[in-house]
Chains A and B, each alone.
Chain A
Amino acid sequence: MTITCERIDDLLFEGDAASLELAETHARGCLACREKLDDWNDISRTAKSMQTTWPSDTLWPRIQRAIANETRSRAPMILRVAAALAVTIGLAGILAYALHLHHEKQKAFDQAILRVTALDEVERAEKAHLIAINNLEKLAAPKLEEPQTPILVSYKEKLMLLDDAIAECQTNIDHNRQNAQVRKQLLSMYSEKQRTLQDVLREGNHVSNP
């Protein structure tokens, strides 16, 4: 069978033994096709020398599937950023809520047990009350030693009651220094004692208020 140079590429592409034999026959009488056929044979030999065997028959399909998945997961960049932001905001919300709960818990704790800074403030206020009370007590002492009116007797009784309450608070503060309720009570008692002493000083002689 006689072929032309135009068919030599088709024969090489088909690649079977008959086609290659036919191409060889033609190349014997055609220098251009001879060179083409020699190049083809060189490539074929090199390719055969590079060929290897896969350790597992399923490895290559697995790699193919992975490549396919990778290709599918490569969504547009904007969607990837949006998803990342959504996740970030969600996590930040969860964190904020957790911090809020924690803060509430701390607040409840601080309402039961005073922090050092709050205790300092309370103790400063107590000291201020004590200074005022000491001054007022000196001024009110003459009236209270032998009270001349029923209302002064009543004030004296109230001051004794307040002193008992203050002593009770102080005893408990020795064992429970930062307990908010005890400190609040003591401050309240000091405040009331100060007010009562001021009332005593204002109470010259009780008169009717018709």
Chain B
Amino acid sequence: MSRIRSLFIACVLAGVTLTLQASQERFERAENRTLRYQGGRITVENSFGEVNIHDGGGNEVEVHAIVRASSQELLKSIHVGIANSAAGITIKSEYPQSMHNASFSVEYDIAVPPAAPVSVKNRFGSTSVVGMRGAVDVNSRQGSVSVHDVAGSPKIENAFGSIDVQDVRGDLVVRNANGSIEVSSVHGAVDVSSRFGSVEISDIGKSLIVRNANGSVRVNNVRAATTIENSFATVQVTEIGGPLIVTAQNAKVTAGGIRGPANITTTFAPIEVYGVKGPAKISGSNGNIKVSDIAGPLSIDNRFGLVTATEIRGNVDVDNENGGVTLKEIAGNAKIRTSFGPVLIKDVHGGIDVENQNGSIAADAAGPCHDLHLQTSFGTIKAGLGTGGYTVNARTTFGEVSSDLPLANMHSTGETLTGTLGDGRCKADLVNANGNITIEKD
């Protein structure tokens, strides 16, 4: 029996010895303070280490700090400075000015009265603020920032680290340089800017402004006006309750479910827009543009890319260069200027005005007649005329004009054709150079 007892005691002693030996180089001190909050701002300044601030529920500020250092002397020289007055409480990590070959950190967990305004300044360490009802101001350099469940209007600044914000009942301002930004559930207006990081935003109660570059932008469900700037990364926008403005460069843009007008610009990348309840103005270059289900007038300006528009319930004005244009199911007028690409128009219920260069035109007018003007060079023209009457005037320089429809008062020379279809109340001017013109039934 005594042998078992001796063996056990020996094991315990060995374990304790090993543990103590392992902890010899770890120097740590906990500082716990409880302060009576007299009003004013609670300011926390730290340089190296986490800062976690949360709702303490009462009228006291409870500070739990853990100071860690690589030597006992250094540990003793690091202080948690606290100043408490009616103007507020300042909690600050104080380090010796001259240190060499030293290593240290100070970690804070601070419970504060929920209504107290809070300012946090941190450099190397994550910062978290949860459950505050007053103003929140976070200034970080190189650490992640997380702000959740805040009733005020937080201002968050970071340089190199992620920012995560959720459940804010006021407005929100976020500034970052090189780090991702995630924002969700903000009742007020949101203003976000970054330079090199992705931005993801959802469920915003008021207006939204995003200025980014070199990082993707994804926005969903904003109830008011939304303005987005980006470059060299994609922009994806869905469910916007107000007007949408996207200004991008070298960035693919996708936008859908826009209840106000949409104004979208990009370069060197495609644009896809669908479901706009107001007018849409789209400008691109060196990329295809695809638009569908637009309630208002549509204006498209493009270079070096295809344009496709369907289900447009207003007028359409397309100015393209070096790219084909396809329009289908257009309730209003269609005006197209392009070059070096074919133009295909189908089911247009308003007037049609197309000027192309070096590209064919195929246009089917739908419903009652509207004036039709199709002009190109170096390509064919096919005009499908709908119900109603047209006064036809078709001419080409090097080609042939023919009609599948019987025209009254028809006069044809091979390269020209005039005549009347029905009551002739609408004009059909078809002009070509170096290509045939064909008139057929819609």
Contact = CB atoms under 8 A, between A and B. Distances in A.
Interface stretch (A51-59, A60-68, A109-117): A109-117
A162 interface: yes
A196 to B, nearest CB: 9
A176 interface: yes
Contacts of A207: 268
A115 B25 CA distance: 9
B15 A99 contact: yes
Contacts of B196: 158, 161
Nearest to A85: B4
B105 A113 contact: yes
A162 B178 contact: yes
Interface residues of A, number: 46
A151 B232 contact: yes
Contacts of A180: 105
Given A102-B23, A165-B160, A179 B48 contact: yes
A177 B105 CA distance: 11
B142 interface: yes
Interface stretch (B95-103, B111-119, B364-372, B379-387): B95-103
A210 B289 CA distance: 9
Interface in B284-306: 286-288, 304-305
B181 to A, nearest CB: 16
A7 to B, nearest CB: 55
B52 interface: no
Interface string A161-182: 1100100110010111111111
B305 A210 contact: yes
A151 B1 CA distance: 80
Interface in B138-184: 141-143, 159-160, 177-178
Contacts of A182: 48, 124, 142
A151 B175 CA distance: 22
A170 to B, nearest CB: 12
B252 A181 contact: no
A105 B28 CA distance: 9
B303 to A, nearest CB: 10
A185 B124 contact: yes
A165 B270 CA distance: 34
Given A99-B19, A177-B102, A150 B250 contact: yes
A113 B105 CA distance: 7
B154 to A, nearest CB: 23
B7 to A, nearest CB: 9
A91 interface: yes
Size range of the chain B interface in the assembly: 35 or more
Contact of A181 (B4, B5, B105, B195): B105
A41 to B, nearest CB: 50
B107 interface: yes
Contacts of B231: 150, 154
Given A109-B68, A150-B249, A151-B232, A208 B105 contact: no
Given A88-B8, A113-B68, A208-B287, A181 B142 contact: yes
A176 B32 CA distance: 24
Interface string A141-153: 0000000001100
A176 B250 contact: no
B142 A165 contact: yes
Given A113-B70, A182-B124, A95 B15 contact: yes
Contacts of B304: 208
B142 A185 contact: yes
A106 B177 CA distance: 34
Contacts of B286: 208, 210
A209 to B, nearest CB: 6
B255 interface: no
A125 interface: no
A84 interface: yes
26 contacts: A81-B1, A84-B1, A84-B4, A106-B22, A109-B68, A112-B49, A112-B68, A112-B105, A113-B69, A113-B103, A114-B103, A150-B231, A150-B249, A158-B196, A158-B214, A165-B178, A175-B99, A176-B48, A181-B105, A182-B48, A208-B250, A208-B268, A208-B305, A209-B269, A210-B269, A210-B288
Given A81-B1, A154-B214, A180-B105, 7 more contacts: A84-B4, A154-B213, A161-B195, A168-B142, A169-B142, A181-B105, A181-B143
Interface of B: 1, 4-5, 8, 11-12, 15, 19, 22-23, 25-26, 28, 47-49, 66, 68-70, 99-105, 107, 123-125, 141-143, 159-160, 177-178, 195-196, 213-214, 231-232, 249-250, 252, 268-270, 286-288, 304-305
> What are the 10 closest A-B residue pairs judged by CB atoms, nearest first?
A178-B103, A208-B286, A208-B268, A112-B105, A181-B124, A185-B142, A210-B287, A109-B26, A210-B288, A113-B103
